[in-house]
Amino acid sequence: MNLQVIGCSHHQSSVATREQLAFTEQQIKPFLDNYYSKFPNSEVVLLSTCNRTEFYTAANKPNSVPGKSELIEFIAEQRGIAATDINSEIFIHQDRQAVEHLFSVASSLDSMVVGEAQILSQVKQAYKLAVETNQTAALIHRVFQSAIRVARRISNETEIHTNRVSVPSVAIGVLAKQIFERLDNKKILILGAGEMAEETLRYAIQEGGKDFTIINRSIENAKQLAMKFDGRVGDWDELEKELATADLVISATGATKAVVNSDLFDRVEEIRKQKPIFILDLAVPRDFEHSISDRLNVYLYTLDDLQKECERNRQSRQSHYPKAQKIINHEADLFFNEIQRRSSGSTIAQLKRQADNAKQLELDRLMNRLEGVSEKQKSEIEQSFNRLVNKILHPPLKSLQTESPQVSGGLLEALKKLFQLGD
């Protein structure tokens, strides 16, 4: 089996590179069509999310999948960029390493937020699009179906997915739920339009949030974020008015000092009339003066508060890593054993036919020369030939069945060469 994954992710690639290589769903199908025009003897799946873009390629025959440089050149051409701009930030995994990587990705062990639920559905969608483009992609079928099964096993047999670990996920999924039973009837105000604000907003929407307003000193950045989630853009000059009506505030600006001081909040508090407000101050330095947290019915959490909660969740989750990794290793063994069994089956059958043909030719030649041999003697001679052939074939065939997939794969190729067997 010739399987590899080439791509970039949050582990080793810059945001700029990930943005250059990101594909929308509408762009994936044309890319797959162009890929098969260029590399008709291989199979491919393109997985593109906000934190990774990965190209899984596979083929039955050696040298049928494009090499790293060749594929990077093709990808760069498709994206209208220079290959030299992205080459240093692209990783490659092959064969078992590639399979284990896919298993980890599908199980969310490789995610920025370990335990996130979205990645499995994204893997399924990428697999679905690949199958629709090339319905004969047998190797892709096997490895992605296995990856989906592994992800389900890890979800069912470990607690990797039970405790949230990222700052935004803990802020919304844990702390916000302690204050509000539901978010679909709450007014959400976002101060800032950067990555932290966007990620936290995503979690708020996943938890049911619908009514949200974005305020940012750069109105264009606010509009871009609002367009992604169909939200409303507010005016920075009306910050007091927006705070006075908000239930949940997500603040992550790049300001060098507090944007909401005690005096400003005094005016806001007078309008709110002690209505509860939940504030997530995710900025460094802080956007809200610390003294505001002492106000009645004000629930203010800073990054320091959230990091402590994240660490508790992270420690709890890490105890389940070994079990999840053990599942991945076991499933990878099963996968390659099955691949090896399938690939060696036809070669073994071909070797046996070749040996039987040679045996039968020599047996017929011998029988034609012998005179006065009884049927019983002929049967004994034939059985002796059969036993001899079986004894000669038994050691190499046993080695193919008992050695590891890595070793038996080399033995299989050696067997084909030694006995001049075809593919």
Looking at the predicted structure, is the pLDDT value of residue 406 above 60?
A: no
Looking at the predicted structure, is the pLDDT value of residue 407 above 60?
A: no
Residue 49 has what pLDDT? 83
CATH top-level class of 167-303: alpha beta
Residue 123 has what pLDDT? 94
Beta bridge partners of 232: 213
- What residue segments make up the domains of the chain, in order of their start? 2-163, 167-303, 347-392+407-423
Looking at the predicted structure, is the pLDDT value of residue 405 above 60?
A: no
Residue 372 has what pLDDT? 81
Q: Is 180 within 8 Å of 136 (Cβ atoms)?
A: no
Residue 1 has what pLDDT? 58
CB atoms under 10 Å from CB of 405, counted, come to 22
- Better-predicted residue by pLDDT, 20 or 327: 327
- Confidence label for 310 from pLDDT (cuts 50, 70 and 90): low
Of 3.40.50.12160, 3.40.50.150, 3.30.460.30, 3.90.550.10, the CATH number of 2-163 is 3.30.460.30
Domains 2-163 and 167-303 share a fold: no
Q: Please write the tens of the pLDDT for every residue from 249-299.
A: 999 998 878 999 999 999 999 999 889 999 999 887 789 998 999 999 999
| The pairing of beta strand 91-94 with beta strand 2-9 | antiparallel
> Which residues are the active-site residues?
50
Q: Is 355 within 8 Å of 393 (Cβ atoms)?
A: yes
